[in-house]
Structure 1
Amino acid sequence: MLADLLSRPTPEGILEGALAQAVTLLGGQAQGYAVLRRGQDRVAAVFGYPRPLIGTALSGPWANMRPRLLTDGSRELYGLNPPEVVTLLDQAGMRDVPLSLVVPLSDRGRNLGALVLDRTSPEGISPVQQEAVTRWAGSVAPLLGLLDSRDEWRQATRQLASSLVEAVESRDFDSVGHGQAVTETALRLGRAVGLAERELEELWYAAMLHDIGKIQDEAGHAQIGANFLHGVPHLAQAQKAIRHHHERWDGAGEPDRLEGEDIPLYARILAVANASVHAGDLGRVKAQAGTELDPRLVGLLEKVSQDG
């Protein structure tokens, strides 16, 4: 059960799995939706209800964040929302819900949202079933809290990396903004190559930090920069990219004179993105294809430049 939830490690994926299991705990004959509290309460997942509900801003009977069994079904839900939302609820078939169970999702004092389970039959919900769903929600909430914390940590580490790069660039006025520009181009190339989100995340760090070694000196900055990521296992490919982004396609680069596809992919992407930002002209970059730069990636650069 936990493996199923973690197979989609996003709040939406976890909530879809949580709703499915909650319906099972009620013995079936129910459907439901999950609400996340992020400034404004919004539907984040559904089970049995139409998917267009996802993303809808919704007020509801979960505001006080305590378990509730609503014997008048969706009456309170309808009374709390404006006409345009009521229309969506009608289209989803919620008006005639006979009975609803509202179960909050809380983690260490943080109110994350709620699961709402609606009966689709006249059958009631027993205290045992209510307790089972409440316990289940209590097990799911820490996973949501962990994802929220991960997102916050991700944003914090990105901001720290960006600030460090800006500090290095500020020593040379002509370099200000270079890291950000290379990163934007590298990510466009990464998407064109077909990198997954996790790979794009690592490419972001490689591109943003590719010149961080210049904090000491221009000479040997690629190796110095790579050392900044020593001992960070989940950025191992980013470390390789920084070390090798001055290798050349023809093998005449540094530090290891790697040639062609022996050069790590992220490093080849960085080399093309770096050349593009420095040259400021696609023609000058194309002139380096097959000698300094991966010709396939230069071709993709031309394509994404035209698309952009």
Structure 2
Amino acid sequence: MLGKPNVEGLLEGALEHAASLLGGNVKGYAVLRKGQDTVSAVRGYPKTLLGLSLSGPWAQMRPRLLADGPKELYSMNTQDVVRQLDAAGMNEVSTTVIVPLVDKGRNVGALILDQFQSGGVSQNQQEALNRWGSAVTPLLSVFDTREEWRQGSRQLTIALVEAVESQDFDALGHAQQVADISGQLGRQLGLNERELEQLWYGAILHDVGKINGDQGHASIGANFLHAVPHLADAQKAIRHHHEHFDGSGEPDKLVGEDIPLYARIIAVANALVHVGDAARLKGQAGKNLDPRLVELAQKLPPRS
């Protein structure tokens, strides 16, 4: 369940095990209460539901068995939301089981399990599901704390970068643009969350060494992370983002795929921010830039 170490991964695993406790043809989704109730994970339903604000019969913080399909759920939402639920196939639900997620009296959310055949839910199954919900909920608090630290760390990093960029008015916002494009390229390559996190730090900090001037700033910037072992890949990306695919770059004249992947991604993103149009990168493919990443850059949405 912790193979995908984030809230969505935790809830996906929770839904998977809960469905196995019920057996049969079961789909499900998890709702978290963050101001509005929001679909935060799905099992069997399309991922287009993720992020959907949804009112539902889980607000009472108690286990429920709904034998009239989606009737109550549909009555609590707008027609626009109902159309989305219909498109996901919820209009064919036979029975719904609500498993509340309650932490120290606080309604965190719920696991919602939908049966598509009237197999029924035994008392033992309901009790097992409730125990499972009680076991899952404390883990959500761990991830909430982790996310708060993650966001705080990012905000402090952005503040540092903006302080460096403020020395040169033309550079304001440059690092954030490079980080955004790097993330898009990373997702096209199928990088996982941990890898995207390393890439983000490498991209957002790629020019931080310019606090001491432009000369040798890549190596200087990398030194900022020498005592942060969990960002070792980001450190390499910063050091090598001025290497050239043909070996003519710096500081180590690395060639081709000997250049760390994150550094090659940042180089393409950095070049795209400067030229503004991905088509203009084609002349650098195989020279300064990785040709495969230049090709991927052509698929990105046009920059406004």
Which TM class, normalised by the smaller chain length?
A: 0.7 to 0.9
**Which residue type is aligned with residue 259 of structure 2?**
I
Deviation of 1:42 (Å): 3.8
Superposition map of 1:1-308 within 5 A: 5-25=1-21, 33-45=29-41, 51=46, 54-55=49-50, 57-68=53-64, 77=73, 80-82=76-78, 88=85, 92-94=91-93, 97=95, 101-107=97-103, 110-117=106-113, 121=118, 125-126=122-123, 128-191=124-187, 194-198=189-193, 199-278=195-274, 288-291=284-287, 293-294=288-289, 296=291, 299-300=294-295, 303-304=298-299
Q: Distance in 1 between matches of 2:12 and 2:301?
A: 39
**Are the structure 2 counterparts of residues 101 and 231 from structure 1 closer, same or farther at C-alpha, using a change threshold of 3 Å?**
same
User: What is the DSSP-based 3-state SS (H/G/I as helix, E as strand, rest coil) of the residue aligned with 1:140?
Assistant: helix
Deviation of 1:181 (Å): 3.0
Q: Distance in 1 between matches of 2:77 and 2:293?
A: 53
Q: Distance in 1 between matches of 2:26 and 2:294?
A: 53
Q: Distance in 2 between matches of 1:302 and 1:52?
A: 25
Deviation of 1:227 (Å): 1.7
Q: TM-score, normalized by length of structure 1?
A: 0.74
Contact 2:221 2:239 in 1 (8 A): yes
**Which residue type is aligned with residue 93 of structure 1?**
E
Q: Any gaps of 5 or more consecutive residues in structure 2? A: none
Q: Distance in 2 between matches of 1:129 and 1:282?
A: 55
Deviations 1:87-121 (A, max 9, x none): 75795234x64xx6533113455532112456754
Q: Distance in 1 between matches of 2:276 and 2:23?
A: 63
**Are the structure 2 counterparts of residues 254 and 91 from structure 1 closer, same or farther at C-alpha, using a change threshold of 3 Å?**
closer
Q: Distance in 2 between matches of 1:232 and 1:38?
A: 32
**Which residue type is aligned with residue 172 of structure 2?**
V
**Are the structure 2 counterparts of residues 123 and 272 from structure 1 closer, same or farther at C-alpha, using a change threshold of 3 Å?**
closer
Deviation of 1:166 (Å): 0.8
Contact 2:174 2:273 in 1 (8 A): yes
Contact 1:29 1:121 in 2 (8 A): no
**Which residue type is aligned with residue 132 of structure 2?**
W
**Are the structure 2 counterparts of residues 257 and 63 from structure 1 closer, same or farther at C-alpha, using a change threshold of 3 Å?**
same
C-alpha RMSD of the superposition: 3.9
Q: Any gaps of 5 or more consecutive residues in structure 1? A: none
Contact 2:19 2:113 in 1 (8 A): yes
Deviation of 1:239 (Å): 0.5
User: What is the DSSP-based 3-state SS (H/G/I as helix, E as strand, rest coil) of the residue aligned with 1:63?
Assistant: coil
Deviation of 1:216 (Å): 3.1
Q: Distance in 2 between matches of 1:30 and 1:306?
A: 37
Contact 1:60 1:77 in 2 (8 A): yes
**Are the structure 2 counterparts of residues 302 and 101 from structure 1 closer, same or farther at C-alpha, using a change threshold of 3 Å?**
closer
**Are the structure 2 counterparts of residues 203 and 133 from structure 1 closer, same or farther at C-alpha, using a change threshold of 3 Å?**
same
Q: TM-score, normalized by length of structure 2?
A: 0.75
User: What is the DSSP-based 3-state SS (H/G/I as helix, E as strand, rest coil) of the residue aligned with 2:226?
Assistant: coil
Contact 2:56 2:73 in 1 (8 A): yes
Q: Distance in 1 between matches of 2:272 and 2:293?
A: 9
**Are the structure 2 counterparts of residues 64 and 191 from structure 1 closer, same or farther at C-alpha, using a change threshold of 3 Å?**
closer
Deviation of 1:65 (Å): 1.6
Contact 1:189 1:297 in 2 (8 A): no
